[in-house]
Amino acid sequence: MPRSFDLSADYHGTVEQVHSAFSDEQYWLARLEDSGADIATLDSLVIAGDGTVTVTTTQTLRSDRLPAMVTQFHPRDLEIVRAERWNPVNGGVAHAEVSGAVPGAPVSLLGTAVLAPRDAGSRLKFTAAVEVNIPLVGGKLEGFIGGKLADLVAAEQRFTTVWIVENA
């Protein structure tokens, strides 16, 4: 059974500024370089005429950097494919669908995000369901992934805030 996580992050930039960053190839290349992954690629970035942004990335962590709990079930390098589809800003708010997968492993993530105005910036609210289909230990791995997901959302918020300031 999937485990749900509700996360949030506050940005100093407006919804429009954050969405604009998500539409910028240089933003994604810099964000991936800063991600801490051993290999990180921007697989696709498509900006539709209506402002919808669809991005797919792949991040790889070498197996020698993974905790034993992970390598016990996935002894190879860990490749994480992530897709985000950000709808255009409408009424000051942007919505997204997010998915993640580990090819060759029974791991998936499905989520939704809402980026809305907040006092001096904006707030991202992210709800994700993580599922690891491994009997007996799947729940423990889901909890581990959820903790890492919280760290990731915070790191991406910090990166995006700096990016907006430096590229405004």
Residue-by-residue pLDDT tens, the chain, 168 positions:
788 999 999 999 999 999 999 999 999 999 999 998 899 999 999 999 999 999 999 999 898 988 887 888 778 888 999 999 999 999 999 999 999 999 988 999 999 999 999 988 999 999 999 999 988 888 888 888 888 888 889 999 999 999 999 997
Q: What is the 3-state secondary structure (H, E, C) of the chain?
A: CCEEEEEEEEECCCHHHHHHHHCCHHHHHHHHHCCCCCEEEEEEEEECCCCCEEEEEEEEECHHHCCHHHHCCCCCCEEEEEEEEECCCECCEEEEEEEEECCCCCEEEEEEEEEEEECCEEEEEEEEEEEECCCCCHHHHHHHHHHHHHHHHHHHHHHHHHHHHHHC
State residue 101's pLDDT score.
94
State residue 142's pLDDT score.
86
State residue 45's pLDDT score.
98
How many distinct structural domains can be found in the chain? 1
Domain holding 154: CATH number?
A: 3.30.530.20
Q: What angle do CA 116, 28, 145 make, to 5 degrees?
A: 70
119 phi and psi angles, rounded to 5 deg: 0, -90
Cα–Cα dist 148/155, whole Å: 10
State residue 116's pLDDT score.
98
Residue 22 is part of which domain span? 3-167
**Bridge partners (DSSP) listed for residue 137:** none
